[in-house]
């Protein structure tokens, strides 16, 4: 939800900021803007549309400055247009702000400011924030840092902000603060970078600081200081990010989404690296070591997540209950946090999140922690908010996922959760050595099997052509392939804008069957498992009503190809690992359909990669 980047140092700020904004565009892309200090004045350029539109509009401008900040927006307050694009000037024009997040009490603050004569140029809460700071500074005759601190004590909501000032005494000054929205500081040689994540920074420095909530970072006269909201100096921990540039570039693929689908053999391998060895009968999740005993003794596990991560949680429910025999509840984080959930001391709450920043998931976890639960995280982005809040956890190590549609994050999450379930079952002493060895053996073969599924990309592309004009899609599966049906439907709708629904196959008779006619494509995830015969009957029911059946089947299946209109094969594996394979053809199908419909696959309309607002 909005990307922010700022720079102060000895380089040309404008090209650096534009490049950084392009890397952050996955976070929002309805408008973009840049503020630079030029000749002692704050100069703002901003425009509705993509960063490239802003860049094109400035092709002849050649703005020059060594200090500046930029923003790419996902609209919350006010429609996407030039006026509402960031940065925003304060009333006097002497301050400018970029903001990621939401100020909940902005209306009350705005009214107070209006009664004092402040006028507003936009509909945003961010413009209210910068004017509030300006008003406090005027009223208290304090430094800008102090005014920011006082404003932070009053505003309610979530934010990461960066401010610049045109006052001569503030020359070279950048101020940043965070509460609830991510902010990373890059520490270079006589230069500093601020950004929503490390991707705009790593080209210049690998040394970063993750700012914590209620902290304020100030670069003044080339010196960085970090204090908290009570003005207590902080000693920020500088860490080295292990992120290479090629990981955040397309590497010859047409879209990030396609690159990330094809990366899955490697990302699944990376997420098991050093953790699993079938030969040695070895499984270690270092980050969970101290909590394994408590998890094994827990009476129930609650999983909280959103979107695709929630689907991974549903798959994990089957695996945990099957192997570890602990009851699992999977909750939408947004519902969990607002319904006074019953959490007992010693309950285990696992948050799953690719970004580690999803606001609802973070809030659900805070609530669970306050009620005495053991809170764990399964996240991809190292150093993000969720892993910093949890007692323990396991990173997925899938590498940066930039396409808005989550693909490799899902398979990595399911892999890590499977490892957790196996480790807990071992700890409980209820997993037979043979089953343990077989699971590890099969897990180690998953990357090669995904590779094999990817070989059918051309076939899936041809099939996609026949369905790219469909108006609706139904996805059906049973057991742990039911969440795969949900995931297939989500993938299709979010990038192609085709209406799609996922259901447990048996639920079809309770309503959705009424939709089936010759124009309804129905995707069955029908791999060989203990509900195979039942799903075959469901396929027949759809065929009897002239629906078009696409079936994902286990290699060598002889029966379903005689019933379905199209089949996509996946290799055989241990039944509980099937979702790691069966999801892949569905990702590809959605991708190709979306491309054929001319959709912007990596940046679908109305969406953003990281949902840091409720």
Task: List active site positions.
Answer: 2, 609
Are 107 and 41 within 8 A, CB to CB? no
Residue by residue, DSSP assigns 474-497 as EEEE-TTHHHHHHHHHHHHHHHH-
Are 481 and 319 within 8 A, CB to CB? no
Give the strands of the sheet with 184-188, arranged side by side: 41-48, 31-38, 67-73, 3-8, 191-195, 184-188, 207-210, 239-240
Phi, psi of 514 (to 5 degrees): -65, -20
The contact set with ligand M6R (CB under 6 A) reads 306-309, 353-355, 358, 361, 404-406, 490, 494, 610-611
What residues contact residue 533 under an 8 Å CB cut-off, 6+ apart? none
CB atoms within 10 A of CB 579: 30
Query: Which residue is closest to ligand M6R by CB?
Result: 307
Helix (H) or strand (E) holding 256: helix 256-262
Nearer to ligand M6R, 90 or 358 (CB): 358
Give me the least distance between CB of 361 and ligand M6R, in Å please: 5
Peptide bond into 87 cis (omega under 30): yes
Give me the least distance between CB of 352 and ligand M6R, in Å please: 7
Two tokens, residue 242 = 């292990």
Give me the least distance between CB of 299 and ligand M6R, in Å please: 26
Give me the least distance between CB of 386 and ligand M6R, in Å please: 8
Nearer to ligand M6R, 122 or 612 (CB): 612
Give me the least distance between CB of 53 and ligand M6R, in Å please: 23
Beta strands in 110-183, from DSSP E residues, in sequence order: 157-165, 174-179
CA 199-201-202 angle, to 5 degrees, is 75
Nearer to ligand M6R, 144 or 364 (CB): 364
Helix (H) or strand (E) holding 359: helix 359-370
Nearer to ligand M6R, 45 or 210 (CB): 210
Are 44 and 87 within 8 A, CB to CB? yes
Nearer to ligand M6R, 65 or 358 (CB): 358
Nearer to ligand M6R, 174 or 351 (CB): 351
Give me the least distance between CB of 306 and ligand M6R, in Å please: 4
């Amino acid at each position: 939800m909005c990307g922010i980047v700022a720079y102060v140092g000895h380089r040309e700020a404008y090209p650096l900021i534009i490049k950084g904004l392009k890397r952050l565009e996955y976070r929002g892309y309805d408008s973009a803007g840049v503020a630079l200090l030029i000749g002692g004045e704050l100069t703002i350029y901003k425009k509705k549309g993509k960063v490239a539109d802003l860049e094109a509009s400035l092709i002849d401008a050649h703005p020059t400055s060594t200090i500046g900040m930029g923003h790419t927006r996902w609209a919350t307050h006010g429609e996407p247009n030039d006026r509402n694009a960031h940065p925003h000037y304060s009333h006097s024009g002497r301050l400018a702000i970029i903001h990621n997040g939401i100020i909940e009490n902005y209306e009350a603050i705005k009214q107070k400011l209006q009664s004092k004569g402040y006028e507003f140029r936009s509909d945003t809460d961010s413009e209210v924030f910068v004017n509030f700071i300006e008003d406090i500074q005027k009223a208290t005759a304090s430094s800008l840092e102090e005014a920011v601190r006082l404003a932070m004590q009053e505003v309610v909501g979530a934010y990461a902000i960066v401010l610049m000032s045109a006052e001569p005494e503030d020359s070279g000054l950048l101020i940043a603060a965070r509460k609830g929205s991510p902010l990373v500081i890059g520490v270079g040689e006589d230069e500093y970078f601020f950004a929503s994540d490390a991707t705009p920074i790593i080209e210049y420095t690998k040394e970063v600081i993750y700012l914590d909530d209620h902290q304020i970072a100030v670069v003044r006269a080339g010196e960085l200081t970090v204090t908290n909201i009570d003005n207590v100096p902080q000693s920020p921990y500088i860490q080295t990010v292990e992120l290479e540039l090629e990981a955040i570039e397309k590497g010859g693929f047409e879209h990030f989404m396609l690159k990330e689908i094809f990366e899955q053999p490697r990302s699944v391998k990376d997420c098991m690296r050093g953790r699993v060895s079938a030969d040695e009968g070895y499984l270690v999740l270092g980050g969970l070591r101290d909590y394994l005993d408590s998890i094994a003794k827990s009476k129930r596990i609650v999983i909280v997540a959103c979107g695709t991560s929630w689907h991974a949680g549903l798959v994990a429910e089957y695996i945990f209950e099957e192997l570890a025999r602990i009851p699992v509840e999977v909750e939408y984080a947004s519902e969990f946090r607002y319904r006074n959930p019953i959490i007992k001391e010693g309950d285990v709450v696992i948050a799953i999140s690719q970004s580690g920043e999803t606001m609802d998931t973070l809030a659900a976890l805070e609530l669970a922690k306050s009620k005495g639960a053991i809170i764990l995280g399964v996240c991809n982005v190292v150093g993000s908010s969720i892993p910093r809040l949890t007692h323990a956890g396991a990173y997925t190590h899938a590498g940066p996922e930039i396409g808005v549609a989550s693909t490799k994050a899902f398979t990595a999450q399911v892999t890590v959760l499977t490892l957790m379930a196996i480790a807990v079952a071992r700890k409980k002493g209820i997993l037979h050595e043979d089953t343990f060895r077989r699971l590890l053996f099969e897990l180690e073969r998953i990357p090669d099997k995904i590779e094999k599924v990817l070989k059918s990309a051309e076939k899936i592309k041809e099939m996609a052509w026949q369905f790219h004009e469909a108006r609706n899609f139904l996805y059906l599966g049973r057991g742990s392939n039911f969440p795969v049906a949900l995931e297939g439907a989500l993938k299709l709708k979010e990038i192609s804008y085709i209406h799609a629904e996922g259901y447990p196959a048996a639920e079809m008779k309770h309503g959705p069957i009424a939709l089936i006619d010759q124009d309804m494509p129905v995707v069955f995830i029908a791999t060989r498992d203990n509900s195979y015969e039942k799903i075959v009957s469901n396929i027949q029911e759809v065929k009897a009503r002239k629906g078009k059946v696409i079936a994902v089947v286990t290699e060598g299946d002889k029966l379903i190809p005689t019933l379905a209109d199209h089949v996509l094969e996946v290799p055989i594996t241990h039944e509980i690992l099937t979702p790691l394979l069966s999801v892949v053809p569905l990702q590809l199908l959605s991708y190709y359909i979306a491309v054929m419909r001319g959709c912007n696959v990596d940046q679908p309309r109305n969406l953003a990669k990281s949902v840091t607002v409720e």
